[in-house]
Every structure is written in C-alpha cells, then in structure tokens.
C-alpha cells in the first residue's frame, strides 16, 4: 500500500497572450493584488502560433510568461484559473478579451496548465476547471508532449521554464 504524502508547494506561472504591451502592463497590478509579486518574466514575443484568438483579440498578438514569488498549493490552481477568467473579463472591451491568462504551475517533474476546456488528456479538478501536464522534466530538460501547445515548445519558453524550475528547487530546499 502506498503512503499518502503531503504535497510540496509549487511555483505559480502565468501564460499571457495580449493584443498589445499596454494590456499586459494594465493587468500587472490586478494580478499582483490577487496572486502576489511577479519574480520572473520571459521576453515578450509575437504570438504567431495559431489564429485561434484573432477573431476575438485581433492580429499581431503578443506572448509572455511570468512566474510568481509566492509558492502555492497545487490544488489552488482551479481557484486561480477562475480568478484569471474574472480578470480577463474585467479587462475586456465590448465583451471581447484583450488578454488571455493561462495559469499553471511548475514542480520538479512537470509543468501543469489549468483550463476550462475538457479534452481526452485533461483531468477534471473542480468548479469547471481541468488540468493537463503540458511539459515533463526528464534528463535535465523540459520536454513537450503530443498535445503541448506550439508556443510552449520553443527554445525560449523551455529555457524560461527551466530557469523557473531551478529557482523553485532552490526555494523549497
């Protein structure tokens, strides 16, 4: 019989897709108030991996990732996803999002993303929120899976997540 172990806290991350840099800056105070200080940010890059968001958010979208200083308990991710949906709505204009916020977390072995969408590889958490393993950490690096979003597979993202993971492992020592 396996022994139930207490879960270690995990490192909160946020994937951001926005119509422009001003919206990213506008979201910062609300996210800080809700989730705490941001301790790392990736470079901002063009989001040209899919046209999924174009009808609602426009073209020439931008992508960035953040990590937060405060560690969370893994089960908090569902509540955080609900909060980020509320923030997206608050920053919307004429019922159209200007920003997409995708919370997740990193631990020593993986990167998890929260989603409102069910799919074969997602596990239901609660309150309409699902989770998926997006990247796994093996042999000294993060590796994508069949369903991993294309922007999570690029070298810059993988390096950013590896840096976040390294910092996280130092924090929990």
For the chain, list the domains and their CATH numbers.
Answer: 10-171 (3.30.70)
- Average pLDDT value for the chain: 97
Name the percent of the chain lying above pLDDT 70: 100
The per-residue pLDDT for range 12-54, each reduced to its tens digit, is 999 999 999 999 999 999 999 999 999 999 999 999 999 999 9
The per-residue pLDDT for range 51-71, each reduced to its tens digit, is 999 999 999 999 999 999 999
**DSSP three-state, residue 134:** strand
pTM of the model: 0.95
The per-residue pLDDT for range 147-164, each reduced to its tens digit, is 999 999 999 999 999 999
- In eight-state DSSP terms, residue 7 is P
């Amino acid at each position: 019989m396996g022994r139930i172990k207490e879960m270690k806290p995990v490192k909160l991350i946020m994937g951001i897709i926005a119509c422009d840099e001003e919206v990213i800056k506008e979201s910062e105070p609300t996210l800080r108030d809700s989730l705490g200080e941001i301790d790392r940010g990736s470079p901002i890059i063009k989001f040209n991996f899919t046209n999924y968001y174009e009808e609602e958010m426009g073209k020439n979208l931008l992508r960035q990732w953040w990590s937060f200083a405060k560690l969370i308990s893994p089960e908090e991710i569902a509540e955080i996803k609900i909060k980020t949906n509320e923030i997206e709505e608050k920053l919307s204009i004429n019922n159209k999002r200007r920003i997409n916020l995708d919370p997740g977390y990193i631990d020593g072995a993986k990167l998890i993303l929260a989603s409102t969408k069910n799919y074969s590889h997602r596990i239901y958490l609660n309150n309409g929120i699902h989770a998926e393993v997006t990247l796994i950490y093996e042999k000294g690096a993060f590796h994508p899976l069949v369903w991993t979003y294309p922007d999570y597979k690029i070298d810059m993202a993988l390096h950013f997540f590896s840096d976040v993971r390294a910092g996280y492992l130092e924090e929990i020592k």
